[in-house]
Structure 1
Amino acid sequence: MDILDLDKEYWDNRYKKRQTGWDIGYASPAILTYARTEIPKEASILIPGCGNAYEAKALLESGFENITLLDIAPTLVRQVQKEFGEAAKIRIICQDFFEHKGKYDYILEQTFFCALDPSLRKKYSSKIAELLHPNGILAGLLFNRKFDSEGPPFGGKKSAYQQLFQKDFHILKMEDCSNSIPQRRGSELFIVLKRK
């Protein structure tokens, strides 16, 4: 697939047609467990490629106060804005991730990385580092497998991820996820990367 095909129009059409096979319908247990035990409630959090924002909803209910959601698909963003209403503790932005400006303490990764063409992975790593405060954390899930069909999602393997992230991050954790959802068990890595 041409990298240019994975643009705003592509993702907006996926939501309009309800072609959202990555959407599990609830917040990822691995991400919620990490956030509730490791992230201070007042920390600034970015969730890029937020989708239906299940993690954000659960985090707000858990008392988190400073969440920014980012997605490129206008149809989805309007829907998420409507669901959240005027919640003061959350910002919802319709924008290309690579054009986003800001600084965050934590960035949560949940099926955004695997939606990007693999040719953008170095750019992703650099952009994540740019958006994090010094010693800021990227935490979340990456697929540790190949996919039979042409992506998205695009898979990968641990050794390639280690090489990709070592320039900008200290790898605090990159291991098999112990609390994946049933249909992804054995195929995900949980990562915690600290910005250098």
Structure 2
Amino acid sequence: MFDKEFWEKKYANSEAQWNAGSITTPIKEYIDQLTKKDLAILVPGIGHGHELMYLYENDFTNISGLDFTIVGALEAYGLMNNFPYGDVILEDFFEHEGQYDLIIEQTFFCSLPINKRSDYVEKMHDLLKPGGKLVGVLFDCYFNQETPPFGGNKEEYLELFKEKFNIQVLETAHNSIKPRAGRELFFIINKQHD
């Protein structure tokens, strides 16, 4: 299992090779079209905090980041001097309680062991308000399957999410950053009503 010590070592040794260095274009462009600035937004597995910082810089007022390693949370705080809105929460995602209008997925899913994917879907469903959205990117390729990142493909993701979510968009991202071009799916899915 990839526990806190595993991730703290990754951060300390700068081994989280999928860190893009800033918010990625698919998520940036999605955020840019949002007009309601008080949406309750969660960014799980904040890592370096790029998405959280972008939301803050663009006047969103109800944002929370979640990470279970102190290093990841401190990294996010380091990027966000005087971060007044929302919270950076130090907690295991699967133990987190809350209700959100929007959850942003950026390399958190690929960090989880493959056998936790159905738990991820269930937890995302629980955390979203009725009609809430899960939006982000998923890798459309495979990697070394012994350690993260873990990949997948469109068919796997459709099968995984179809019981709990209405799939609005799940397609190859047309605006991925260069290293991920053609290997990334952009998705927008809505929580199905219970």
- 2:21 aligned partner: 25
Partner residue of 2:41? 45
Contact 1:51 1:71 in 2 (8 A): yes
Q: Does structure 2 conserve the Cα–Cα contact (< 8 Å) formed by 1:32 and 1:59? A: no
Describe how 1:148-163 pairs up with structure 2 within 5 A. Answer: 148=144, 150-163=146-159
Question: Deviation per CA, 1:56-89, whole angstroms, max 9, x where unpaired?
Answer: 1112111111110001111221232244244221
Aligned equivalents of 2:76 and 2:135: distance in 1?
A: 23
Aligned to 1:164: 160
How many angstroms apart in 1 are the aligned matches of 2:117 and 2:144? 20
TM-score, normalised to structure 1, is 0.94
- CA–CA distance in 2 between the matches of 1:167 and 1:159? 14
Answer yes or no: is 1:56 the counterpart of 2:52.
Answer: yes
Q: Find the partner of 2:112 among 112, 116, 122.
A: 116
Pair 49,39 (structure 1): closer, same or farther in 2 beyond 3 Å: farther
Question: 1:185: which partner in 2?
Answer: 181
CA–CA distance in structure 1, aligned partners of residues 24 and 79 of structure 2: 19
What is the aligned counterpart of 2:68 among 72, 85, 96? 72
Structure 1: stretches of 5+ with no match in the other structure: none
**SS of 2:16 mapped into structure 1:** coil
- The match for 1:9 is 5
- Paired residue secondary structure (2:130): strand
Q: Distance in 2 between matches of 1:84 and 1:148?
A: 33
Cα 1:138–1:39 change in 2 (3 A) is: farther
Between stretches 23-32 and 54-63, larger displacement belongs to 54-63
Q: Contact 2:47/2:75 (CA < 8 Å) preserved in 1?
A: no
**Alignment CA distance shift 1:146-1:83 (3 Å):** closer
Distance (Å, rounded) in 1 between the aligned partners of 2:99 and 2:111: 23
Structure 2 residue runs without a partner (length 5+) = none
Aligned ranges 1:86-101 → 2 under 5 Å: 86-101=82-97
Give me the CA root mean square deviation: 1.3
Measured in 1, the distance between the counterparts of 2:114 and 2:26 equals 24
CA distance in structure 1 between the partners assigned to 2:121 and 2:42 by the alignment? 15
Report how many residues are paired: 192
CA distance in 1, matches of 2:132, 2:146: 33
